[in-house]
Amino acid sequence: MSFWTVVVLCGLAMLIGAIVQGIIGIGMALLASPFVALIDASLVPGTLIVCAAVLPAMTLVKEHHDIDWKGLAWALPFRFIGTAIGAWLVVVMSVRHLGVLMGVVVLAAVGLSLLRWHPTPSPALLSAGALVSGISGTATSVGGPPMALVYQHQRPSMIRCTMAVYFLIGSLVSLGSLLLVGELTAHQVLIALSVLPFVAVGFAISIWVRPRVNQEYTRYAVLVVSALSSIVLLVRSVI
């Protein structure tokens, strides 16, 4: 497969993911990672994490008025701890086994949310969600759902703004960790830079769609995307 064929195919997957994440705050890594892995498995997770750092920056340029700084103060230290654990697990543990574990954890959280569990961004939940997110995001490139589930009952703008700060900082830390352990390659970065125009177009489309999506739809979208992420991780890890 030629370089530009890989760029176009990966770019289309990123474009769709950017539309979803631009609307509800998560989704790009989930929707793009299975296709990127099929196109070129060597691009995961590096290429996805590079793009996952750029898209939140676009979000914050457009929308930054509703950030939950207090919640981030609890979450980010545990995100860093989870990132270190995730980078270590990439080296010593089978990604397949790790994907199964993370998929089960997220799917269980979605199941509880559909029953009577009404999570709020408490220090305990933020810390636990960020820890799991850091491990999963660094090892599998899908780290958003644990934190998004904690914020699922909050305003759509708060979810987008807070998750954008969280993703931006977390992605930069994950990239540094992967670079440190030798798992971030020049090829991954080159493909990521080449598909950024697709990400920008997807984000622009999401801005047009946002006013047509209310809070309850956003919550259900978060649950659907989170459930899909766990299923994708499980299938990808078992096959």
- Rounded CA gap, 138 and 27, in Å? 16
Q: Residue 33: its pLDDT value, please?
A: 78
Domain count, the chain: 1
Whose tokens are 């992605």? That residue is 171
Q: How far apart are the first and last CA of the chain?
A: 23
Mean pLDDT split into 10-residue runs, the chain, 239 residues: 93 92 84 81 86 92 92 94 84 73 74 76 94 80 81 90 92 84 90 96 93 78 79 74
Question: Residue 203 belongs to what domain range?
Answer: 3-238
- Rounded CA gap, 106 and 180, in Å? 28
Q: Residue 148: its pLDDT value, please?
A: 86
Q: How many CA atoms lie within 13 A of 150 on its CB side?
A: 25
Q: Residue 219: its pLDDT value, please?
A: 78
How many Cβ atoms sit within 10 Å of the Cβ of residue 23? 23
In contact, 171 and 117? CB cutoff 8 Å: no
Q: Residue 95: its pLDDT value, please?
A: 63
